[in-house]
Amino acid sequence: MGQISIVLIAGLIFLFFFEPSRGSGAFNPLLTLTSTVAATILPPALVYFFGSYATRALPTDSDARLRRLYLVKRSVIGFEYLLLIGYVYNVYLLNLPLLIGNTLKWSPLIYTQHLVGIIPLIAGLILIRLAVYEVEQQVTPRNWERGEYLSVHLKFLLLPVLPLFVYVCLLDLIVYLPFLAGHTYLPIALMALLIFLAYAYAPLLLGFIWRTVPLADIDLRNKLHRLAAQDNIKYKDIVVWQTESVANAAVAGIAPWARKIFLTEAVLKHFSDDEIEAIVAHEFGHIRYKHILTYLLFLVAYFLSYAIYYIYIGRPLESVLPTSSLLPAIGLVLFVSLYFVIIFRALSRRFEHQADLYAATLTNKPEALELALVRLAYLNYMPRSIQRLFELFQTHPSIDRRIKFIERFKGGDPSASRYQNYLLEVKLLFVLLPTLACILFFSHL
C-alpha cells in the first residue's frame, strides 16, 4: 500500500471524474492523440537528460555518490507531476476519454473501456523508471537486467489497478444482469469484498510480481521457525524471490493460512544467518503488532472519511463550477494525498521502528539488525542518511535514523521503549472508525 504511486491514483481520479456531458464539445482526435503522445514522452526524456547532467563529475566518496543519485531520484517526483499535468490537460481540455470511447465504441463494457484511458499515464511512469534505470547504470551499475527491472516496476504499477479492473468488469456485468442492477449498495459491497480479498490473498497477488520458490536451506528454515515459535508467530511459508538485484524482505497476508514471508536471493547470498534472522524477525514484528490489519482498517477509515469529505467539501465544490468536474477532482486528489502520503506514511515509519525494536528484542541481537540495515543500504544503493523533509514522503525512516532509534532503545529511552506496546496512533484509529461512522450516520438524519 505504501508503495502505490500517488500520481497513478491521482490520474485515475481525474479520469473517472471526467464526464462526457461536461466535456468541451467537439474535439480534434489527431490533436488529442499527438498531444497525448508528446505529454507521455517529454517528462521521461527530461528525467534522463537532467539525471545525466546532475551526475556528471561525481565525487569519489561512495556515500556522496549515492546521496547525489538519491537527490536525482527524489527530483523524479517533480517530473511525474509534470506527466500528470500533461495527462490532465489531455483528459479535460482535449477530451482524451472521448477519443478512447470513440475508438472502443464497439465494446459493450462501458466502465472497462473508460479505464483504458489510464494507459498513457502508466506508459509515462514506466518510461520515467526506464530513464532512472539508465542514469543509475551510469553512476552505480547493478546486476539488474533492463527487462527484469521494467517488468517488476510495471507489475508494481498495475497491482493497485488490478482490483479496480476487476471491479469495473463486475460493474459492467451488473449492467447486463437486470436482477442485480437495482441493488444500490451492491457496488459498495463488491468493492469491500475485493479489498478484503486483496489483503487476505496478497501473497497470491505478489506471485504476479515476484517469481518465488520455497526456502531450500533446511537449517535456516528451522532456525526461523523456532524463532517464530518463541512468540507464537503464525505464517504459511517462507519463500525466496529469485533475484539478486535487490536485497529486501516482506510479509504479506492477513490470514495465517495464506501469509508468507518473502526474502530475496540477495539476502541469502550476502547476509549472515544472524542478520537474516534479524531481518525476518523484523517481518515477524509486523505480524506481532498486526500492522497489515491496521493498514486495512486505515483503508476502511479512508472510505468513511471520504464520505464525510464529500458531504461537507466535495459536494459544495461541485456547485462552484457546475459545468466542470475538474475542481472536485482536484479537491479529492488533495484529500487522498494528505491521507495516504502524509498521514499514512507517518504511521508506516512508526511501524518500521516498532518492527525494528521487536526484532532486536526477539533475537536479542540488536547489533546483527544494525549490521543488516547498513548492508541493506549498501546493496540497494541507498544513502544511509536522508534529510528530514524528504523523509516525510517515505514509508521507511532513513537507515541512520533507524539505527539511532535502536541505540536509544538499548539505552532505555522511554520514548523508544513505548514502541514495544501497541502505539497510541493505532488505538486512536480504532476509536476513529466508530466516530466517523457515527458522524456519517447523523449527518444523514
Q: Give the model confidence (pLDDT) of 58-68 as tens digits.
A: 666 666 666 67
Cβ atoms within 10 Å of 250's Cβ, excluding its own? 16
pLDDT at 183: 57
Task: Give the dihedral sign, CA 119/32/327/318.
Answer: negative
CB 208 within 8 A of CB 159: yes
Express each pLDDT in 135-171 by its tens digit. Answer: 888 777 776 788 888 887 887 787 767 777 887 877 7
Q: 439 falls in which pLDDT band (50, 70, 90)? A: confident
Residues 177, 202: Cα–Cα separation, whole Å: 30
Domain boundaries, the chain: 1-159, 276-291+346-443
Phi/psi for 335 (5° steps) reads -65, -45
Does the pLDDT value for residue 184 go beyond 60? no
pLDDT at 58: 64
pLDDT at 64: 67
pLDDT at 355: 96
Does the pLDDT value for residue 377 go beyond 90? no
CB 410 within 8 A of CB 366: yes
**Averaged pLDDT of the chain:** 85
Residue of higher predicted confidence among 139 and 33: 33
Does the pLDDT value for residue 235 go beyond 90? yes
pLDDT at 321: 76
CB 96 within 8 A of CB 117: yes
For residue 366, what is its C-alpha cell?
A: 540488536
Contacts of 47-54 with C-beta under 8 Å, sequence gap 24+, read 47/76, 47/79, 47/128, 47/131, 47/132, 47/135, 48/131, 48/134, 48/135, 50/75, 50/79, 51/131, 51/132, 51/134, 51/135, 52/135, 52/138
Q: pTM score, two decimals?
A: 0.87
pLDDT at 240: 94
User: What is the mean pLDDT of the segment spanning 439-444?
Assistant: 74
Of the candidate ranges 20-29, 135-144, 392-401, 422-431, the one whose mean pLDDT is the lowest: 20-29
pLDDT at 1: 43
Taking the CA atoms of residue 337, residue 340, residue 341 and residue 345 in that order, the dihedral angle to the nearest 10 degrees is: 170
Task: Give the dihedral sign, CA 376/246/199/314.
Answer: positive
Does the pLDDT value for residue 199 go beyond 90? no
Does the pLDDT value for residue 399 go beyond 60? yes
Q: 324 falls in which pLDDT band (50, 70, 90)? A: confident
pLDDT at 424: 81
Express each pLDDT in 87-144 by its tens digit. Answer: 999 999 899 998 998 888 888 777 788 889 999 999 999 999 999 888 888 777 776 7
Quick one: what percent of the chain has pLDDT higher than 90? 41
User: What is the mean pLDDT of the segment spanning 48-70?
Assistant: 73
**Cα Rg of the chain, angstroms:** 23
Residue pointed to by grid coordinates 485515475: 12
Of the candidate ranges 75-84, 252-261, 381-390, the one whose mean pLDDT is the lowest: 381-390
pLDDT at 21: 56
Express each pLDDT in 263-303 by its tens digit. Answer: 999 999 999 999 999 999 999 999 999 999 999 888 888 88
Does the pLDDT value for residue 28 go beyond 90? no
Residue of higher predicted confidence among 188 and 194: 194
Quick one: what percent of the chain has pLDDT higher than 70? 90
